[in-house]
Amino acid sequence: MQPIKMVDLHRQYLTIKDEIDQAIQSVLDSSEFIMGRVVDEFEHELSQYLEAKFVIGCASGTDALLIAMMAMEIGPGDEVITSPFSFAAAAEAIAFLGARPVYVDIDSRTYNIDPNLISDGITQKTKAILPVHLFGQSADMEPILSLAQENDLKVIEDSAQSIGARYHNRFVGTLGDIGCLSFYPTKNLGAYGDAGALLTNDSSLAQTCRMITEHGSRVRYHHETLGINSRLDSLQAAVLKVKLKHLERWTEARIRIAQTYTQALSGLGLVIPYSPAYAKHVYHQYSIRTPRRDEVAAFLKDKGMPCSIHYPVPLHKQPAFRELVEPGTRFPVAETVAKQILSLPIFPELEDREIDTITSSLRQFFEIPSS
């Protein structure tokens, strides 16, 4: 048996090789490498799938977050409320614009921002709330949207890990003012390089975001606003256009694999992924929790089983953002989760026998008495 990987992109490629090769060759034949016809087609198909009025492709998920905040004129002196337990991109984009990320602790079951704590973080400087739909699951959006409306705040959804996830049957990324997607290769819908997109139902925001991605310009050499160079290139759009047709099938495969994991790991004392009634979880990660995380990870790696820690250091403890946080600030739930979280391999092509190998190894570990 070949080694199990956290994500096997080559295996996925082989299942759609002819479609991918033809799509890439079509771009090469057209020589439309930047803002080509295929970009328009992908944006249109993605808008139909996610039921968003406007989709604006860009160069990465991080750029999508940056562009969203630029469009909302977030800058020095402003504050944006977000989660301390996530990848660094959201806090990075906030800080890059001179604003300050204000963290709110997470829900211990979903690992998403706890809406019950957000009001404590709102000040006169707050401009937006930026929930992260982590690991493939929606944050609890109704109370977040209500708080935003009450306090005249924008809502930027970081949906980088959760394309296709739903909140009360609506797609994440379409609930707030702007949704931000990443198509990093390992995402549920992954390009063959960096790529991203913004979603919005607001025509004015869409127009501004589009201008920002093209140096602040709608007409060549006429620059209406400060922008950046962040365009979705045609090769990535061609790959994503092919993959989008398979996304629902891949999502259902991820859900089935997650259910298999959950059934096999019951009774071991692990905290397994939780999905509330309001959410359709698309399992970008299948992340378990145990106080013996480091022991488990070492045991699995000794047996040749891959695993990963998402994320070992909360953002308020990262050196890059430390100066933006009051000394002694604590987020106990996020800090506990960061010490216990462990992600297992999950991708649509993962086979039952491979899942059995992984779960058998975990059962073997927990049969060994703790030293």
> Domains plus CATH for the chain?
9-244 (3.40.640.10), 247-366 (3.90.1150.10)
Task: Categorize the per-residue pLDDT at 283 as very low, low, confident or very high, splitting at 50, 70 and 90.
Answer: very high
Residue at token pair 């096997």: 8
- Residue 370 is predicted with a pLDDT of 45
Residues 135 and 283 sit within 8 Å (Cβ to Cβ): yes
Residue 241 has pLDDT above 60, yes or no: yes
Q: Say if pTM beats, i.e. exceeds, 0.85.
A: yes
- Classify residue 72 as exposed, middle or buried by CB count within 10 Å of its CB (0-12, 13-18, 19+): buried
Q: Which of 247, 295, 288 is nearest to 271 (CA)?
A: 288
Task: Categorize the per-residue pLDDT at 371 as very low, low, confident or very high, splitting at 50, 70 and 90.
Answer: very low
Helices (H) and strands (E) in the chain, counts: 13, 14
Lowest mean pLDDT among 85-94, 283-292, 325-334: 325-334
Q: Which of 134, 226, 238, 227 is nearest to 182 (CA)?
A: 134
- Contacts with 22 (C-beta within 8 Å, 6 or more apart), sequence order: none
- Contacts with 208 (C-beta within 8 Å, 6 or more apart), sequence order: 71, 225
- Taking residues 190-213, what's their average pLDDT? 98
Residue 140 has pLDDT above 80, yes or no: yes
Report the b/e string of 226-259 with b at 16+ CB within 10 A: ebbebbbbbbbbbbbbbbbebbeebbebbbebbe
- Classify residue 366 as exposed, middle or buried by CB count within 10 Å of its CB (0-12, 13-18, 19+): middle
Element of type H or E holding 89:
helix 89-96
User: CA neighbours within 13 Å on the CB side: how many for 239?
Assistant: 20
Strand, coil or helix: 154: strand
Residue 232 has pLDDT above 60, yes or no: yes
- Residue 2 is predicted with a pLDDT of 82
Tens digits of per-residue pLDDT, 243-266? 999 999 999 999 999 999 999 999
When the pLDDT of each residue in the chain is averaged and rounded to a whole number, the result is 96
